Amino acid sequence: MIESMSLRTLFDKVWTAHEVVAETPDTPAVLYVDLHLTHEVTSPQAFTALRAAGLPVRRKDRTLATLDHSTPTVTEQVFGGVPIKVDAAARQVHELEKNAVEFGIELLGMRDARRGIVHVISPELGATQPGMTIVCGDSHTSTHGAFGALAFGIGSTEVGHVFATQCLLQRKPKTFAVNVEGRLPHGVTAKDLILAIIGRIGVSGGTGHVLEYRGSAIAALSMEQRMTVCNMSIEAGARAGMIAPDEATFAYLHERPRSPKGKHWDAAVERWTALRSDPGAAFDLSVDIDASRLEPMITYGTNPGMVLPISASIPRKSDNAAFDKALAYMGFQAGDSMLGKPINVAFIGSCTNGRLEDLQSAARILKGRKVAAGVHLLIVPGSQQVKREAEALGLADIFKAAGADWRESGCSMCIGMNGDLVPGGQYSVSTSNRNFEGRQGAGARTLLASPFTAAASAVTGRITDPRDMLAA
């Protein structure tokens, strides 16, 4: 018993190492923040608060800003010639440019070759590292947990707190083990896995908890796939999601621009190797998932927990007004089968599925095929680096030959703040993370799925099981 009390989870280890002041019944912990990521949407009010209080950004060296949400993806609007179409978005972009200069923080700006979605570029640069605490005024900050960092989203007031003190006031969350054993079947991806997990524990199943994804199926995932899983932890209501770092993590980070170098690298790997839950450490909650029994998944309603295996039919639920309202919004009936439903748009991109492997998956389906007449397939790389790599590998040529629209990087149609919108009433199979009403544009109907499923559905113009096309 005494023995087991000293056993600690990965989360406990990272949390304790960042306690400046431990929590008491009367006061939350003062938690140190190693890396503060910032973007244009949730930072303006925080800079205003700093200015009003006459405070500087305390640790400029631990603050990294980029532009992603409001930025256009049309090349002429990004690289000049044509002004940004959405006025308010342009103002927000210029506001961050001004604030970065005034407060002296690093901004990977509009024409920077390193720009992209904040959760794509920080790992790419090697700025995201195991054992760190990472925050951003953005709920999908959970993505960085794939590296064994404790990473979570905060509000704009807290963005101001971190600017001013490099710390946050936090109550210690509880822990939740998500054990995934077995092998993902052919054509079933990390996206399908996380959608299945959310379907199982529900959109508030993780509230107040930090998830740790563990087991053989998680260990077998690449870093990009692990990011897809951790990214959607917030869609289960969780504070964060984490995966213990291992050889795959170290191999990914080795020689990245901001990774430790030389003897610092060796010391870091030694430190990072200890970042795993002690065998037998207790979690507050746990769930077991058998990866080998999963199918491609797709959502049918207006939250990510309303999700089904692609070959299934929409369930019947009596006496559930929210369920009925969701189906009415989607224009679906209980009992409908998902396969074969017509679509108008397919969107491949976002911080969930906008990395190189995701584009390679899409290309496997799209190579030698054409997008169905009347369907708009929008493919948006998660960063400018992903864009360059995809172009160098010939993926962009495959996309263009298929009739897809290939853009500059950004959040794009995931959030529809930047001119990229799904028209009202239309159906979009999207690789992003939220199918909330109006998320992709007022009246837009979003079906969340993997890059395989989005690409396959774009080709047929109907919801399609991608395994049929992968086998061929």
Partner 1 sequence: MQPIRKIASKTVVMPSANIDTDQIIPARFLTITTKDGLGRELFADWRYLSDGLPNPDFILNKPEAAGCRILVAGRNVGCGSSREHAPWALLDYGFRAVVSTEIADIFRSNSLKNGLLPVVVDAATHQWLIEHPGAQIDIDLERMRLTLPTGVSAAFPMEAFARHCLLNGLDELGYLRSRLQDIEHYEAAHSV
- Residue closer to ligand SF4 by CB (options 143, 361) is 143
DSSP tag of 312? S
Is 236 one of the binding residues for ligand SF4 (CB under 6 A)?
no
Residue 208: contacted member of ligand SF4, partner 1, none (CB under 5 to 8 Å, by partner type): partner 1
Q: Report the residue count for the chain.
A: 472
Residue 204: contacted member of partner 1, ligand SF4, none (CB under 5 to 8 Å, by partner type): partner 1
Report whether 412 contacts 86 (CB < 8 A): no
CB of 150 to ligand SF4, least distance (A): 19
CA 64 to chain centroid, in Å, comes to 18
Report whether 100 contacts 108 (CB < 8 A): no
How many other CB atoms are there within 10 angstroms of residue 461's CB atom? 16
Is 39 one of the binding residues for partner 1 (CB under 8 A)?
no
Pairing of the two strands 209-214 and 240-242: parallel
**Residues 158-187: x/- map of binding to partner 1 (CB under 8 A)?**
x-xx--xxxxxx-x----------------
- Residues 170 and 198: their CA atoms lie apart, in Å, by 25
Beta bridge partners of 288: 179
Residues 429-448 contacting partner 1, CB under 8 A: 434, 436-439, 442-443
- Residue closer to partner 1 by CB (options 145, 296) is 145
Residue 351: contacted member of partner 1, ligand SF4, none (CB under 5 to 8 Å, by partner type): ligand SF4
Report whether 423 contacts 441 (CB < 8 A): yes
Is 44 one of the binding residues for partner 1 (CB under 8 A)?
yes
Phi-psi region of 342 (alpha: psi -120 to 50; beta: other; left: phi over 0): beta
Beta bridge partners of 238: 207
Residue 103: contacted member of partner 1, ligand SF4, none (CB under 5 to 8 Å, by partner type): none
**Residues 402-441: x/- map of binding to ligand SF4 (CB under 6 A)?**
---------x--xx----------------xx--------
Report whether 333 contacts 314 (CB < 8 A): yes
Is 325 one of the binding residues for partner 1 (CB under 8 A)?
yes
Residue 432: contacted member of partner 1, ligand SF4, none (CB under 5 to 8 Å, by partner type): ligand SF4
Residue 126: contacted member of partner 1, ligand SF4, none (CB under 5 to 8 Å, by partner type): none
How many other CB atoms are there within 10 angstroms of residue 443's CB atom? 14
Nearest to residue 415, comparing CAs of 69, 43, 139? 69
Please work out, in degrees rounded to the nearest 5, the angle formed at the alpha carbon of residue 377 by the alpha carbons of 373 and 382.
Answer: 170
CB of 119 to ligand SF4, least distance (A): 6
- Residues 286 and 170: their CA atoms lie apart, in Å, by 23
Is 26 one of the binding residues for partner 1 (CB under 8 A)?
yes
- Residues 252 and 238: their CA atoms lie apart, in Å, by 26
Query: Residue 177 is which amino acid?
Result: A
Is 69 one of the binding residues for ligand SF4 (CB under 6 A)?
yes
Is 34 one of the binding residues for partner 1 (CB under 8 A)?
yes
Tell me the number of residues near partner 1 by CB under 8 A. 66
Is 92 one of the binding residues for partner 1 (CB under 8 A)?
yes
Tell me the number of residues near ligand SF4 by CB under 6 A. 13
Residue 21: contacted member of partner 1, ligand SF4, none (CB under 5 to 8 Å, by partner type): partner 1
- Residues 328 and 326: their CA atoms lie apart, in Å, by 5
- Residues 455 and 349: their CA atoms lie apart, in Å, by 11
Q: How far is CA 435 from CA 196, 244, 352, in A?
A: 15, 29, 13
- Residues 432 and 422: their CA atoms lie apart, in Å, by 13
Residue 399: contacted member of partner 1, ligand SF4, none (CB under 5 to 8 Å, by partner type): none
Positions in the binding site for partner 1 (CB under 8 A): 20-21, 25-28, 30, 32, 34, 41-42, 44-45, 48-49, 53, 69-70, 86, 88-89, 91-92, 95, 137-139, 153-158, 160-161, 164-169, 171, 203-204, 207-208, 234-235, 237, 239, 303, 305, 321-322, 325, 415-417, 424, 434, 436-439, 442-443
Positions in the binding site for ligand SF4 (CB under 6 A): 68-69, 117, 119, 138, 140, 350-351, 411, 414-415, 432-433
